[in-house]
């Protein structure tokens, strides 16, 4: 019975390995599939409690689609080098544009997996061309550079924390960047009298999920630093779902018939900033951009002290 005892030894060895593996992993064996989703604690008023300071942790603000690392946000192609003996470089190389070159690795763009479900943004053909132009003219066109309000959903995944404050009938989203604040109306509210940067937000609860319907946008914001954009017909539906005491799952469905052929969705975790006494600090960046925007327009350039031509 040599085979049998050898099989038995193998089986025993495998079983032992499994036991060892389980013991080594330091956890109990995984439980059966959970039958109930996480249920958030309640506020004193009985609503799911999403109060706190949250922050995304990804590269979506660089580019919401999957992307390789690249040298800089603004690139200039090095022209092909041909005709000189021993030198023959037919393919242009993308180098950092002169305006950003000195930043070196601080100015580079890290790689990222993207947050768009399916990774495809369904641009209409004419709009796809505009997106490409936006990317090529990032330095002149990205509203983030000028400290303009970031719009929705970009505000959620900029590299700054934001705070959710649940009042009576009103939920505030307080973003650090440019002192931007959104008011989520939990009761009836009339349409906004004008187009706005951050939209008009109407919220309601779907179980533990805060659903926010956002309309009344202008066409001025981008979705990231890669030139993804929208028109003033933009309509966004966000879902904030608590999945643990320290995590929300965030989804945003974007619809804009002037720009996209169908709605599309992004999603990402949001992480609680649970450091004691954490606060949203000021990033009042208008002051930071005045020199770039206006320095050359007056009689004197404060940056140099010289008269402007």
Partner 1 sequence: MRTNLAILLAGLGIAIAAVPVSGHHAFAAEFDANNPIKMSGTVTKMEWINPHTWIHIDVKQPDGSVEPWMIEGGPPNALYRRGFTRDSLPVGIEILVEGFRAKDGSRRGNGTDLTFPDGSKLFLGSSGTGAPR
Partner 2 sequence: MSYRHIVAAGTLAAASVIAAFALGSAAAQDSEGGPAPEAGAWSQSRTAWGDPDFQGVWRYEADIPLERPSQLEGRELLTDEEVAQREEIEADQQAKRLEGFEGGAVGRLSIAESPIRGNEYNSFWQDHGRPRQVYKQTSLIVDPRDGQIPYTPDARKAAARSTARYGVGPFESYLDPDTGERCLTDGVTAMMWQGPNGGHNQFVQSPGFVTILHEEFRDRRVIPVDGRAHGNIRQWFGDAVGHWEGDTLVVDTTNFLDRTNYEWASIWTRPSETLHLVERFTRISADMMDYQITIEDPTTFSGAWTAVIPISRLADDTQIYEYACHEGNYAMPNLLSGARADAAKKSASPR
* Residues in touch with partner 2 (CB under 8 A): 43-45, 51, 146-149, 163, 165-168, 170, 172, 174, 179-181, 183, 189, 192-194, 196-198, 220, 277, 279-282, 284, 286-287, 290-291, 293-295, 297-302, 308
Q: Are 73 and 61 in contact (CB under 8 A)?
A: no
Residue with the two structure tokens 């796809």: 128
Q: Which of residues 190-229 bind partner 1 (CB under 8 A)?
A: 191, 193-195
Distances from the Cα of 6 to the Cα of 9, 13, 15, 120, angstroms: 5, 10, 14, 54
Q: What six digits make up the tokens of 30?
A: 């995984």
213 binds, among partner 2, partner 1, none (CB under 5 to 8 A by kind): none
Closest approach of partner 2 to the CB of residue 189, in Å: 7
Contact of 173 with 54, CB cutoff 8 Å: no
CB nearer partner 2, residue 2 or residue 309:
309
Q: What is the distance between the alpha carbons of residues 272 and 277, in angstroms, rounded to a whole number?
A: 13
Of these partners, partner 2, partner 1, none, which one is at the site of residue 32 (CB under 5 to 8 Å by kind)?
A: none
Q: Which structure tokens are listed for 232?
A: 């003033």
d(CA 74, CA 139): 6
Q: Which does 290 bind (CB under 5 to 8 A by kind): partner 1, partner 2, none?
A: partner 2
Number of residues that bind partner 1 (CB under 8 A): 4
Minimum Å gap between C-beta 232 and partner 2 is 14
Report d(CA 164, CA 174) in Å as an integer.
Answer: 7
- Map the footprint of partner 1 across residues 43-62, applying CB under 8 A: none
CA dist., res. 251 & res. 153, Å (int): 9
User: Contacts with partner 1 in 132-191 (CB under 8 A)?
Assistant: 191
Contact partners, residue 155, CB within 8 Å, separation at least 6:
149, 162, 173, 175, 177, 180, 182, 198
Q: Among partner 1, partner 2, none, what does residue 75 contact (CB within 5–8 Å per kind)?
A: none
1 versus 299: smaller Cβ distance to partner 1: 299
- Cβ atoms 40, 242 nearer than 8 A: yes
CB of 268 to partner 2, least distance (A): 24
Q: Which helix (H) or strand (E) holds 256?
A: none
Please choose which of partner 2, partner 1, none residue 163 contacts, taking the beta carbon within 5 to 8 angstroms, the exact cut-off set by kind. partner 2
Give the bridge partners for 235, in sequence order. 255
Q: Closest separation between CB of residue 223 and partner 1, Å?
A: 22
Would you state the structure tokens that stand for residue 190, as one six-digit string? Answer: 């009339």
Closer by beta carbon to partner 2, 167 or else 257: 167
Q: How far is the CB of 252 from partner 2 (least distance, A)?
A: 19
In angstroms, give the least distance from the CB of 215 to partner 2.
13
175, 162 in Cβ contact below 8 A?
Answer: yes
φ, ψ (nearest 5 deg) of residue 141? -110, -25
Q: Give the nearer residue to partner 1 in terms of CB position, either 168 or 194.
A: 194
| Min separation Cβ 39 and partner 1, Å | 40
Write out the residues near partner 1 by the rule CB under 8 A. Answer: 191, 193-195
């Amino acid at each position: 019975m040599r085979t049998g005892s050898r099989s038995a030894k193998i089986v025993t060895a495998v079983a032992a390995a499994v036991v060892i593996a389980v013991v080594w992993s330091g956890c109990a064996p995984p439980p059966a599939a959970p039958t109930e989703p996480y249920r958030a604690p309640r506020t004193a008023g009985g609503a799911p409690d999403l109060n706190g300071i949250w922050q995304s942790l990804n590269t979506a603000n660089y580019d919401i689609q999957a992307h390789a690392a690249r040298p800089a946000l603004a690139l200039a192609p090095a022209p092909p080098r041909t005709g000189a003996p021993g030198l023959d470089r037919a393919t242009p190389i993308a180098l950092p544009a002169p305006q950003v070159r000195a930043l070196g690795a601080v100015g580079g763009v890290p790689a990222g997996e993207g947050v768009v479900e399916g990774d495809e943004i369904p641009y209409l053909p004419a709009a796809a061309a505009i997106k490409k132009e936006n990317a090529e003219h990032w330095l002149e066109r990205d509203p983030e550079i000028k400290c303009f309000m970031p719009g929705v959903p970009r505000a959620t995944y900029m590299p700054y924390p934001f705070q959710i404050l649940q009042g009576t009938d009103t939920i505030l989203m307080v973003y650090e960047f440019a002192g931007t604040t959104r008011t989520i109306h939990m009761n009836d509210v009339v349409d906004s009298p004008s187009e706005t940067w951050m939209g008009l937000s109407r919220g309601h609860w779907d179980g533990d999920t805060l659903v926010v319907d956002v309309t009344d946008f202008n066409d001025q914001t981008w979705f990231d630093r890669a030139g993804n954009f929208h028109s003033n017909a933009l309509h966004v539906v966000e879902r904030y779902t608590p999945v643990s005491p320290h995590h929300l799952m965030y989804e945003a469905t974007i619809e804009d018939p002037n720009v996209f052929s169908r709605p599309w969705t992004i999603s990402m975790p949001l992480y609680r900033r649970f450091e004691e006494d954490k606060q949203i600090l000021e990033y009042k960046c208008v002051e930071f951009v005045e020199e770039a925007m206006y320095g050359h327009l007056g009689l004197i350039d404060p940056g140099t002290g010289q008269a402007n031509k």
